[in-house]
Amino acid sequence: MGMTLCETCGDRVVRGVCQNKDCGKGGQIIPPSVHHLGVSILNYYNYSAAKGVLHPTRHMAIERAYRGVFISQPNAPNYEYLRNLGSAASVERANALVRILAGLISKSGGAHASDANLIRLEDINYIREKYNATDNLR
């Protein structure tokens, strides 16, 4: 949908202005509710595999999660979670996004259990192709 992302922090740019108030610090501060048992980084950027959520919305969420530069401090409760996502725009990040979606599929009963899982599978393949993920998940 023609959205531009900031070269510095990966957040949205509107009319030439980065929308992240912490951009000057070099990244985005991700709230502690985003962690491995909480909101996933994809959901944080409004990813949803629900019916009716169109490709551009899902792809933009994936792009933002892929390009986001996260500021994580060792004392933050989600420090490890953010660290395990790897650096912005890396193969490690792409693999982490695949893992998140694959984890949701297995939690909800297997690859063909639902329409949502078919959408997640489609997006896993999208991430593999677009960002060259090298994960070995099936």
Percentages helix, strand, coil for the chain (3-state, rounded to 5) are 45, 10, 45
Looking at the Cβ atoms of 11 and 123, the one nearer to Zn ion is 11
Segment (H or E) for 63? helix 55-67
Q: Which of 5, 6, 94, 96 binds Zn ion (CB under 5 A)?
A: 6
Q: Which of 5, 9, 34, 94 binds Zn ion (CB under 5 A)?
A: 9
Binding segment for Zn ion (CB under 5 A), chosen from 10-18, 58-66, 77-85, 128-136, is 10-18
Q: Which of 3, 12, 17, 20 binds Zn ion (CB under 5 A)?
A: 20
Interface with Zn ion in residues 40-99 (CB under 5 A): none
The answer to whether 117 contacts Zn ion (rule: CB under 5 A) is no
Structure tokens at 105: 């599929």
- Name the nearest CA neighbour of 122 among 103, 108, 102: 102
For residues 30 and 79, give the distance between their C-alpha atoms in angstroms, rounded to a whole number: 10
For residues 63 and 4, is the Cβ–Cβ distance under 8 A?
no
The answer to whether 28 contacts Zn ion (rule: CB under 5 A) is no
Which spans of this chain sit near Zn ion (rule: CB under 5 A)?
6, 8-9, 11, 18, 20, 23
